Every structure is written in C-alpha cells, then in structure tokens.
Amino acid sequence: MVRNIRSLLKAASVGVRESGSCIVVQKIADKSYCSQNVFDYRLLFVKRHQKLKAWPGALTFPGGVIDKEESERVANFRQITNIDKLSASPPSEIENVYRKTALRELKEETEFPLDIDIATLIPWSVWQTPLQLPRRFNTTFFMIFVGLQEFNLKPCEGEIESLHWLSPAELLNDSSVNLAPVTVADVAKFSPHLTYDQLVDFSKRRYHDYQTQQCMPIVIKLKDGTIGINPADSFYFEALELQLKDTTQMVRIDSTIEEHSANQTVLCREVLASQDGKRNLITNTLWDGHTVSNSQYHCKIMFK
C-alpha cells in the first residue's frame, strides 16, 4: 500500500480552488450568557444564500476564493514545493495571499471594519473538499480575536442572508441549522477551551508547535450511516486510495459504523449521518494539535 501522503494529496488536488476564511472570536462580558452557553466567547457565522451553488443555506465562517491571478501563483508554488503545511515561521508572501483573501471576504460579506494586521491572523485549519463533490476548495481558516469589541455588521445582499454570533454549544446543539462537515469539525475543536483567554493562548501555542496540516476527509458509506475519515485516522490512507479509484462516488464498505471503528487502532472520524440519528466525532488521538471530544451534536450536516 502506498503511504506517501504528499503524492496522494497532490493527485487529489487537481481542479481545487484555493480560498481563505476567517473565524472571528468575540469575548462575552455578560455572565448570564456565559453560564447558559458554557463558553465566554462566541463566533461569527454567515448564512449563505439559498441560490448559491456551494453550501446553499448553510451557516459557515466568512470566506471566499483567492483572485485568479493570485490563485495561479499559489498553485504554482504548491506544485514546486509540494507543501501540505503552512509554515510556522513569519508569514511568507504566498501565505499572506490567504490572509488577505480571508480579510477581503470578511469585509465583503459582513462589512467588518478592517483595522487588522494580517500578521496577527492565526491559522487554525486547512480543509480540502472531499473528492466526489463537484465544487472543490482548499481553504485555510484563520483565527481573529477581537476581545470585547462590538460591531455594526451587515450581510452582503444577494450572497449572505443573515449574520449570527453563536457560541460553539449554541451552534452544535441547534437542530435547525445546516452546517458543512468541516464547520462542525472545526467548531468541535473549541470544546476543550471554555474561556476566551484559554482559546487565545492555545491557538498561538498549537500553531507554533504543530503548524497546520491540510485535511481532506474521505466520505464513506457504511451499512448504517455515513462517516468522514480524517488524516489522523489509521484507515485514512487506505480510504484515500479507494477514493482515488473512483472520484465521482462515495467509498462504500460493508460494515456498520461500530464494526468499522472497532477494527481501527487510531480513530479520527466524523459521523455525518446514521440510522439512529446520532452525529458525533469519534476520536482517540491528538488531531493536528487539537484534542477533540467524542460528544454528540444535534445540528444538521450537509455532505452531498
């Protein structure tokens, strides 16, 4: 079995559009809000317009694709260096393209005031859309910490329906919202960090110690549900090879979710849909420097 993650990811990256996104974190001073929602901070989400081709009606973090000229330069850089990580050193010219894109889209989608030094944006994750989906992106997500500042924001007409400030608990426990799998996974990573100050400290240390590894989930159809396999999972390389044999369809395996998980030594997977209605992360390992809980969530997940 081929175990070269770089060559496999390179083969899977044809036709992918490079993009950047912002995770804006606001500290909350209202103690009653904090006691009800466990966390003393909340995150900025945009609800995408129903007419959009990618993730219509979903709650996502603000973001968008890199300009065509810049995208070609980034793609050439990736081809030459074969990178799958962002450097932990001071931001390079190429890395700053992602930061500028993330901030530009934040401004366009929310009218966010852009008095932000791009060097202060902290990479949180890099997600690539699963192979079988028709529109694919390689998105770098950046953390922006704004403290107690309040903002008068406005959704971009025709593209964004509404704006929402939500704590991780509010989002994952709301059965009325639709989320992309990567949004669920990224928000679940906040679960160990209940306070704003803890999250700021962790974000800086994690990026310094682990950098940020590209993650392309492999979506697998099982007997009783659908799961997404992430790179830290011991089945990932096999799943990726299976997916590359037919990039238009989900991988199908004749096992239940429980049976398949029991046969793996290292677990880092997301239950996207199941017959019993449960949706959760299943993990027993450190994931890109993150410790993620196995708790269930109630939001709706879009993966088609």
**3-state SS assignment for residue 223:** coil
Q: What is the mean pLDDT of residues 55-60?
A: 86
Q: What is the mean pLDDT of residues 115-124?
A: 89
Give 103-139 as a DSSP string. HHHHHHHH-------GGG-EEEEEEE--TTSSS-EEE
Q: Which two tokens stand for residue 225?
A: 């549900």
pLDDT score at 90: 44
Average pLDDT, the chain: 83
pLDDT score at 81: 47
Question: Is 167 a residue whose pLDDT tops 60?
Answer: yes
**CA atoms of 73 and 94, how far apart (whole Å):** 8
Most trustworthy range by pLDDT among 4-13, 60-69, 101-110: 101-110
**CA atoms of 118 and 102, how far apart (whole Å):** 10
- In the 8-state DSSP scheme, what is residue 15? T
Q: Residues 171-186: pLDDT tens digits?
A: 888 878 888 878 888 8
Residue 13's pLDDT band, with cuts at 50, 70 and 90, is low
Q: Residues 271-291: pLDDT tens digits?
A: 888 887 777 788 888 877 887
Indicate the pTM of the whole model. 0.87
